[in-house]
Structure 1
């Protein structure tokens, strides 16, 4: 057996000298792994144990709580993977290890058997753990691995303005301060990989502002732990003591932390809002922050633990362009907490596909989109072709900012997941690949319950893991056939950003429907964050809404809409019933459950409902009575409260008609009359001086369009 203490001391000395981090894999039984880990741990002042079976008195946490440690630091991390490898947690915790530290990965020896029986994701992981930059130590070894080459060098830090360590960090501090000192409504989006000093820059800038002026700064993030570095760095710069409180005070200025929901509910009076780890906050909440506060800095990790800052910037950019077109983006690339080309960071990025991206525009084929072909891709092909897997994940990251490393294991290991792709044949001079993936669709096979289980699911007495579409039809709509029949749920659909709006997504769905027919499935469906453009896209593809979630989804911040398309006659029989139930329910829920629904989405679903329900039966008020009151109302007589039934009857027909056009005043009418919001809410939402102005706007709108409809 080799001398582990000697090897450990050499490795730690080299890592500290180069300010770099290494991944050490300890493959064997758990007792041996823990004992071996202790040898390395003894060389550091602090360490963290992630996972089960932590030693007594160890600083430890469960894998599920890994995301709460963003922004925190440790010298050495022990990651126990004997009970499974959580890619999201591993990615998150790897960033807590500072330069000169080690990440000790404890795995069972069976991972490296000559005849592995592991799931595909672990097979891929083992292949990557066998790379030269990984220090693999197996319990059966009689020799130690070679020490890594000593080609790493410490970063040449400078003592710059504000106490920053790199020029990029200095520029970031200046840009953050400019949000406050410059013009209103010019927010900053600051992105950086882990260890680049992003949170420190936020803290330094906050402290500088607090010393220069009387200011109240609000800070929000998914968790207070995310901003611990920010508050600590600000306190250091201010020269004051900090004891993990959620506020800092300095002379006449202060900085206070608010949870995102509390911030939007209470809307505290603050001069400057800092939103850290913004990619983990639902986009609708970010949009509300942008609306309410004039000076905002959004910061996010590019290769994050739950989705990516790059995907976040792509999606949120659209909203920024609409609300604050003069927003600014800045990135920090040079690491501070560890050396450039850090071996641990490089391995994590590669293994978790965090550095993937879509194919650049210049490499895309010049061939027409009509030459795109569609096919299914088996798991074996993804395992064997790392470039294919990487390009696929690049598409998903760009299309869905919540795409995370755990999606890799789901894609490779779940036998019910099917991958459908759109491929564009490359130009002949591109010899790297015959074709490029320009679109993908992930589907999950579900259903096939026996009737007894389906009945139990419908009554809420049973819940089966997975099968979200099949169980939702049974449990949320009351149709057990949705669970007994076989279906496919579309999990993700993505198209290359430079090839969107060319019908590729619709064609990909068409291929998915043909594939489902060949598989003899009964129906195909999806659940997505409800937005007007997405409702329109799915309806055009033949997917009709059958359920709108009453509460907002925690991850997206929006209501989820369930939509299905029948394939078999058996599914057709209940789908029409489900569609009619949706329409009737939505019209009944519009005042209580959905009165706060965004007006454009509300109008879209309101109009759809009247394609399924006879509007005349829904509004039984005789037209002669209605016209009598509306004529008086439009000429200045009657008040809103006295003519409400007639106004609602006419507006319902008007919104459902082909002549209706959505504009701000139309939205005001919908919010007040159909969603029954209070006058105070209407005044605030549409930035009007008073109720009198709101009533005047409503009367003017109805007068104009009622008279034109006669």
Structure 2
């Protein structure tokens, strides 16, 4: 049964020639309808193959998968998702593009999905696996293929989604209806009701959540427009500027003032008074750290936090509850339920939600806890048990993480992963998700250290090698904790620390890892959690992450003898350089770790000479080399170079030409002082 306003999905499965023929027929039919003014003609194509034939009468917007985010804010009657690959016996299962296209398709629209032979798909490797699996060659994602077909099964049985295969005789028939679908009055009424509540502003802060296609961006834009007409200043911030296009369409005359999260924080610190009588709209607030949102909540007269409860970029599940619990001002939670872009109970939306686990039911919570059990969880256990997998994914999504379709792919099929669980009240209540890193080729390590290579994967050890001059990080075998999540009813009760301690004990006895690592945005409370559990600080980025406003912090926990020696080297080197780094957090870190700020080391070591050489000849960053430069100038004074260095530091942004000039000056000074030995040794 197909209702007016529902979108339809059609899967075409066959070889390239057959798929091209069928797609040409569909687009020809679409063009004929358009020429007779029977339908609108906005078409989106997303894929790497491209269309083989031109259709001059059709406006087709073509995007590669990397560009699919640019589709946000647009609407289409027909969307083509081409999962074929230019490489034989491969495909490209880019799930984010499916979620994005599904959100842009209008009522009565069609999604055409192109796949190789349905019965042979398990023989195809997936190029997309290079994004989420730490390998140089694509793998065959058998677990996801099973998950994909299983999710489609009930929709194919009810014919709400249709599958056409090359070897069958079924004639492809699509009804490009000219019937205009009207948005139900009750859906518009819901939107207007929420807009009026916001304009009346009886509360200081509002938290608006909605699934895609519900008009959340429209509400935000209309609110900004009406406030501006009343001479009220409105600011807008978001983790992704690309995604606010729809919002801005609804306030074309007087758009809000956009500031990126880190820029907004800086301006609030510098001139807080100019924001106290203004409104702030935070789009996709769940994608920002809670600490930043709480900072914003103390400044503006009114704030609207909005977030999508599901989508390609993550999930906002649990966001409103977490934020509302910590707000110190009157607040109200609002929710948009009815779709405005398509008819309610749309089968395409249902399928995408089931495939990507976007509406996974949350686990029941209770204030009483049964005995806690800590034990490993294998990939096979949850990949073959949909109930356990849904519990795991639900736990990740409610933990305020950027849980995305990429994580779903990684969970099911990526190699060299390690999972450790907390079971309580007969359900999964906590999880540690680890990813193996290290054991890289020595030639590659040298290329990473000097900045000439940045291969996929091995994120943390590569950062330590390049930014902290710790190549041994890439040689040793380590496990990076990618996620740690605890169900909300067990948080702040020590369950996270108990899970972590059991994990560390078990993994030290049963594996051959040299150390465990973790990376997180620096917040005193979060850092204290890791430090009190034995992790030691080895690196802190010099600049804040633009999306979060926090400094990326890296810490390690040694296991083997080699790991312990490496940890001693890394912590000693970090402290020695950090105290000379002029870092914004130097006072806070020294207080937390009980370091003496004045205990500076000025003698030059082999690591310093290596850092100077890599800066002069290769791609070592200025911030990584700055402590060594200070030591060098103290031991080998050069007023001209010192003046040049001071001028470079005073720049608000490091300019490329100025950096090149500084590197040349450092190289020339090293040569003049007879330090060529150290330079040639670094090549």
* TM surpasses 0.5: yes
> Separation in 1 of the partners of 2:26 and 2:321?
41
Q: Residues 260 and 577 of structure 1: is their aligned pair in 2 closer, same or farther, counting only changes over 3 Å?
A: closer
Query: Which of 580, 586, 589 is equivalent to 1:605?
Result: 589
Partners of 1:570 and 1:208 in 2: CA distance: 63
Distance 1:515 1:174 in 2: 56
CA distance in 1, matches of 2:451, 2:310: 39
Partner of 2:565: 573
Contact preservation (8 Å) 2:316, 2:400: no
The worse-fitting range, judged by mean Cα deviation, of 538-547 and 472-481 is: 472-481
Note closer, same or farther for the CA distance 1:586–1:199 as it changes in structure 2 (3 Å cut): same
Deviation at 1:415, TM superposition (A): 0.7
**Partner of 2:214 in structure 1?**
196
Q: What are the within-5 Å matches in structure 2 for residues 615-634 of structure 1?
A: 617=599
Q: Does 1:166 align with 2:188?
A: yes
Closer, same or farther: CA 33–542 of 1 in aligned 2, 3 Å:
same
Are residue 53 (structure 1) and residue 44 (structure 2) matched? Answer: no
Q: Is the 8 A contact 2:435 2:480 kept in 1?
A: yes
Distance in 2 (CA, whole Å) between partners of 1:356 and 1:92 is 19
Mark the structure with the bigger radius of gyration.
1
In the TM superposition, 1:285-684 aligns within 5 A as: 286-287=293-294, 289-317=296-324, 321-322=327-328, 325-361=329-365, 367-368=369-370, 371-424=371-424, 426=425, 435-517=426-508, 518-589=510-581, 592=582, 594-595=583-584, 597=585, 604-610=588-594, 617=599
Cα 1:36–1:583 shift into 2, 3 Å: same
Structure 2 unaligned residues grouped into runs of 5+: 34-38, 86-91, 126-139, 269-273, 603-683
The superposition leaves residues 220-263 of structure 1 with CA deviations (integer Å, 9 ceiling, x where unpaired) of: 445555334334344xxxxxxxxxxxx515xxxx6555555565
Q: Indicate the residue corresponding to 1:432 in structure 2.
A: none
1:282 positional shift: 5.4
* TM-score, reference length from structure 1: 0.71
- The alpha-carbon deviation at position 314 of structure 1 amounts to 4.7
Partner of residue 227, structure 1: 244
- Tell me how far apart the structure 2 counterparts of residues 474 and 156 of structure 1 sit (CA, whole Å): 56
Quote the offset at 1:37 in angstroms. 3.4
Task: From the superposition, tell whether residues 383 and 275 of structure 1 become closer, same or farther in structure 2 (CA, over 3 Å).
Answer: same
Question: Helix, strand or coil: the match of 1:550?
Answer: strand
Partner of 2:128: none
Higher relative contact order (CA 8 A, sep 6+): 2
Distance, in Å, in 2 between the alignment partners of 1:208 and 1:609 is: 50
More off after superposition, 122-131 vs 298-307: 122-131
CA deviation profile, 1:537-564 (whole Å, cap 9, x unmatched): 1111111111111122244321111111
Which runs of 5 or more structure 1 residues have no equivalent in the other structure?
Answer: 1-13, 235-246, 427-434, 621-710
Instruction: Please say if residues 419 and 432 of structure 2, whose CA atoms lie closer than 8 Å, have aligned partners that are also in contact.
Output: yes
Tell me the secondary structure at the aligned position of residue 99 of structure 1. Answer: strand
User: What per-residue deviation string (whole Å, max 9, x for no partner) do you get for residues 606-662 of structure 1?
Assistant: 124435x6x785599xxxxxxxxxxxxxxxxxxxxxxxxxxxxxxxxxxxxxxxxxx
C-alpha contact (below 8 Å) 2:214/2:341 kept by paired residues: yes
Seen in structure 2, the aligned counterparts of structure 1 residues 354 and 467 have a Cα distance that, compared at 3 Å, is: same
| Cα displacement (A) at 1:264 | 5.5
Q: CA 1:374 to 1:282, structure 2 compared with 1: closer, same or farther past 3 Å?
A: closer
Q: Per-residue deviation at 1:417?
A: 1.6
> d(CA) in 2 for partners of 1:374 and 1:224?
42
Matched, 1:136 2:132: no
CA-to-aligned-CA distance 1:36-56 (integer Å, 9 cap, x gap)? 234445165221111223335
1:240 corresponds to: none
Distance 1:522 1:231, change over 3 A: closer
Q: Quick check: 2:239–2:547 contact (8 Å CA) kept in 1?
A: no
Residues 261, 549 of structure 2: 8 Å contact kept: no
Number of equivalences: 551
Match of 1:91 among 75, 99, 121: 99
Q: CA deviation at 1:147?
A: 10
Match of 2:280? Answer: 273
In structure 2, do the counterparts of structure 1 residues 464 and 199 end up closer, same or farther at CA, with 3 Å as the change threshold? closer
Alpha-carbon contact 1:470-1:482 (below 8 Å) kept: yes
1:302–1:310 Cα contact (<8 Å) kept: yes
Q: For the residues of structure 2 that align with 1:218 and 1:32, how far apart are their CA atoms?
A: 52
Indicate if the aligned counterparts of 1:488 and 1:516 stay in contact, CA closer than 8 A: no
- The two structures have a TM-score, normalised by structure 2, of 0.73
Find the aligned partners of 2:369 and 2:220 in 1 and give their Cα distance.
46
1:155–1:420 CA distance, 2 compared to 1 (3 A) = farther
Which residue of the partner structure matches residue 605 of structure 2? none
Instruction: Give the superposition deviation at 1:114.
Output: 7.5
Distance (whole Å) between structure 1 residues aligned to residue 512 and residue 257 of structure 2 = 58
Q: Deviations over 1:575-600 (max 9, x none)?
A: 112112222333222xx3x32x4xxx
Assess, with a 3 A threshold, how the Cα gap between structure 1 residues 75 and 260 changes in structure 2: closer, same or farther. Answer: farther
Aligned partner of 1:663 in structure 2 is none
1:130–1:136 CA contact under 8 A, matched in 2: no
Cα RMSD over matched residues? 3.3
Query: Which residue of the partner structure matches residue 124 of structure 1?
Result: 147
